[in-house]
Structure 1
Amino acid sequence: MTEQTLVGAAAGDDPGEGLRAVRALRDLADRLETLQVERARGLGWSWQEIADGLGVSRQAVHKKHGRRL
């Protein structure tokens, strides 16, 4: 399912389809966040710069991604 299809399903009238689409979008967002955090760290970004970009605290982003990197 494409992102556009997922968005349509998430906003649609069928709650079952909508909830599955919301879950799929959440999973996609998590994968994209991990990808971009890894790129940012590889380019020398600080945890604070990444946190600012995500709109979260430095501690939150480090706790979520710090062990993986």
Structure 2
Amino acid sequence: MDPDPAPRPQDVARAAADPGDPLAALRAVASLRKLADTLEFTQVENALSAGHGWPEIAAALGVTRQAVHKKYVRRITPELRERNHR
């Protein structure tokens, strides 16, 4: 028998919104937050790779350039860091 597949994001979101079991809902919220953080980091790197600058990325995320730069500059690959130094 195959191991249980990973839950689909929409199922996790449904669990997060279910008032029937608040602790299970909080675990689902934490899982969604981790997924969102991973996706955001991936897309920041993709945007930088595509030639977008920090101001554009910040605008897309609804934050300041300084905020997004501070959050990600040390996490991105050195190649992207050098190419997008502003």
Would you say same fold, with TM above 0.5?
yes
Question: Which of the residues 13, 16, 22 maps onto 1:10?
Answer: 16
CA RMSD of aligned residues (A): 0.6
The CA deviation string for residues 33-69 of structure 1, in whole angstroms up to 9 with x for no partner, is: 0000000000111100000000000001000111122
Is the aligned partner of 1:27 residue 2:34? yes
Structure 1: give runs of 5+ residues left out of the alignment: none
TM-score of the two chains, using structure 2 as the length reference: 0.78
Counterparts of 2:11 and 2:24, CA distance in 1: 11
Which 4+ runs in 1 deviate beyond 4 A? none
Identity of aligned residues (%): 55
* Structure with higher helix content: 1
Structure 2: give runs of 5+ residues left out of the alignment: 1-6, 77-86
Q: Between Structure 1 and Structure 2, how many residues are aligned?
A: 69
- Residue type of the alignment partner of 2:50: L
Counterparts of 1:20 and 1:56, CA distance in 2: 27
TM-score of the two chains, using structure 1 as the length reference: 0.96
